[in-house]
Amino acid sequence: MARVAFIGLGTMGLPMARNLIAAGHEVIGVDVDPGRAELLGPPVAATPAEAAEAAGVALLSLPSPSAVEEVVLGAAGLRSRAPRGFAVVDMSTGPPELARTLAAELGRAGIESLDAPVSGGPAGAEAASLTIMVGGSREAFERQRALLEALGDLVVHVGPAGAGQAAKLCNNLIAGVTMAAIAEACAVAEREGIEPAVLYDMLTRSTGDSRVLRTRFPLAGASPEHPASREYAPLFSLDLMAKDLDAALALAAAHGVEAPVASASRARYREAQERGAGALDYSAVYTALDP
């Protein structure tokens, strides 16, 4: 069993770290909020550098690329004290170029690096049923496969460094665009006087069905589990989806791929942000269509 530093014990990270413990791994918790680290229980470390001295691998679940860069390469970051043979697995979502930069920087220090973003949300993190998309060398992937399989029911190596992030951004491009389209359809149906529960039941039995629709229908009253029925309490925030759409559009542009549908959807999320919905679930993109 591995000795793991888990850095970032938020909505996703805390249940993931607990699942590693349940699978028999020793986990050292690290978080900027000591209270969150205490929720995991001892042992804890004050800094990533301190954790690197006590573990053989670090898993990251962080909110932004800048946070990832600081945790890995900063003055008190993992690279500053991690020994040769250490491994860093970034399970956050970010640009592929950052993953390639980290792989190169860490590689020069004899440290392995994988980008391994996840899909499945808090429910998947709790149930250890995440989809995990991994970029990096095949050899490094095989060394960490058992660890990742304690967190997800689909763990797939998709290519070299950065490929995991690229795959995740493609996934979130689809999810973000789908949600924007669902919001427009619901706005039309609502103005026609169609009851949300009736519309939801019909759509989930028709060609308009999708996982996005089933987990976050944007009209209240169709399902008590959906964010819209709980004042858009976030499963995955609108600000995070907007960030990922920005990164997906930048990746598309870098490859010369025109993405007008994603661009139009990103504009709708911007409207919702301007209305103050950024911290809400990304199904709150529907609020951009309020009269």
Q: What is the mean pLDDT of each run of 10 residues along the chain (291 residues)?
A: 93 96 96 87 92 96 95 96 97 97 97 97 95 98 97 98 98 98 98 97 97 97 96 96 97 97 98 98 96 72
Residue with tokens 């660890």: 147
Alpha helices, DSSP H, located in 6-137 = 13-22, 34-40, 48-54, 65-73, 96-108, 121-127
Instruction: State yes or no: is 243 an active-site residue.
Output: no
Q: Which of 36, 79, 100, 168 is catalytic?
A: 168
| Residues comprising the chain, all counted | 291
Retrieve residue 4's tokens. 């793991």
Domains of the chain: 3-159 (3.40.50.720), 166-289 (1.10.1040.10)
Per-residue exposure over 45-71, b if at least 16 CB sit within 10 Å of its own CB, e if not: bebbbbbbbebebbbbbbbebebbbeb
Pairing verdict, β 26-30 and 112-115: unpaired
pLDDT of residue 128: 97
Tell me which amino acid residue 126 is.
E
Please give the pLDDT value at position 291: 72
pLDDT at 51: 95
Per-residue model confidence (pLDDT) at position 34: 84
SS3 201: helix
pTM: 0.94
